[in-house]
Structure 1
């Protein structure tokens, strides 16, 4: 088959790029512009490291543009671009939500085992719980940060003297205090997602991995809870704003969304959290994925960047201000390796009990891609259809 001149030129550029990287970048001809889109708030953890990569390799990268976007809208946008033969987005930083939707729609470039030689020993780098989360990517992305998430109950202790410890107590409190409990739409909220996927374990549902046929108790419970919830914000930030301003007294949260808003002053520092008596931790993670159709000359730079972000020094930066606690996905990156600012924030606003709670209760991975998409669709249709803003 004869290649067109344009295709042959692009393949030639890619070959030159790969050769240049193999030689440490010295032969790189034209630095590229990388367009990074974040749909998970991950740039709070990784933007400084990405900028450090740009500064370290000016012969590879001339500029990095950063864009934030809502997770539910991104897969459709990428699908439309790919259908038009465009590749405006080079790297996506995503939670399990858009990761799952992209896997379902075949949007992401296969990385493992297809390109295992480009990521030597990467799976052995992950700590045990993050390693389990990496499997959710189905070889189409690499985990870059990890959170032992929740669900947890966060509350204003001035208005809640006896916080719920069980799902029955939570429902009773909500009915006794209508409009004082909210949580965000799970399809665009890590905290809402942890609550949705944690309920089957808390309620003893038939199959926590099957939201359509195994969550009868969960869907019934959510409909009862809906009776005392005023509406569902489109993201966790809006929830924390209302909690901090005092219009709500309680929400469902995760470790990072407890620590970080208090560190930022959005939520008062004295607000508290309560774990469930029969707590099961539904973990969370952020992933790096490359949309199919990315320019060939950019691919080797992206591969080098992804490996760079998994180095211990860059992983230590993911402690950040507690936004995605603890943060690092790879092994042997203690808090003492983090920047001093991160150490100070976590000392002041972290919860000493978290490490013990995480170690003493089961940790599970979220739903796989197909099941997660089905759960989001059913929640949107049956629970949040009339009350999501």
Structure 2
């Protein structure tokens, strides 16, 4: 037994050493997982914010079409200047069915002259001032869309001013007229959940699915390389000539792939949590507070899922006659792991049926959700633990049987 474990560890160490020697593997295993989410959640928003701020400095051409007999409200002149809107005033076409009909102005907007068109028509109501308006723009043009954004802000401020004047005529404030039933105090303090509990709930809604996706995808390449890849390179026979038997060789490869996939998942998870913590204040989104049982349950569920996934992918990869065939087979298989993990995020944990904790993939995803919510239900733990061990045993046994077949382990040549 001791010699068998020693040989398994020797095989695993040899495979891991081969991975580490390749700098590209280290980049894919460590650097990319650590940087991908900070780049998406930190660098990308900063870049987009900088690009959007550049549009603020552009002078845009605004054409104001106003109905005959109406005059441009003086309240709009200064906001146009402040927002770098160079405006010209022309008469509105009286034959338009409504102000939103673009008509012949559509082609002019597509050509960028003007960038945006504001149509105004005064109406008679009980308000102190009332207007119909429409803003015409080209959504495929960045400058035209920027002009539309600026115009909407100007119109909103103008409308708020008119509402204030109308309410003042009847001796009312905006709060009295628009918010007669209002919240007393700070509404955010009415939520009794702590920031740690809120964080656990939020993480439980996507972390299990992400872990499932990362585990399934991270194990593909090493699974192919250590099976079909060795067959193509002609190195499989050399391994078969070692003192280790085939089952020990499989276990060694399984340990190596599990370490590679698990390390990649941990680094990606660390990068994700760092990016989220950077963007969201700690008083709003803190680290979830988990009991020892919950942490053990979380780690165990991830471990058992990795055992199951790696064994399945190794068994499928060893059946392939080439690296290309293995990639073709394992690519669609990932969907079989992702789809149940995705649906598991929407399963209602309140009054959940027991069989959810027995269904493959669903069981570990729901176990991770309960662990992140700091829920310890011994009956649920017993169900997903026993079922996961069973599925892992079946997967490893199936992979071992595949590895015993001569036609699946001999080199292509």
TM range (shorter): under 0.3
More strand by share: 1
Q: Flag the structure with larger Rg.
A: 2
More helix by share: 2
Per the normalisation by structure 2, the TM-score is: 0.20
Q: Which structure has the higher relative contact order (CA within 8 Å, separation 6+)?
A: 1
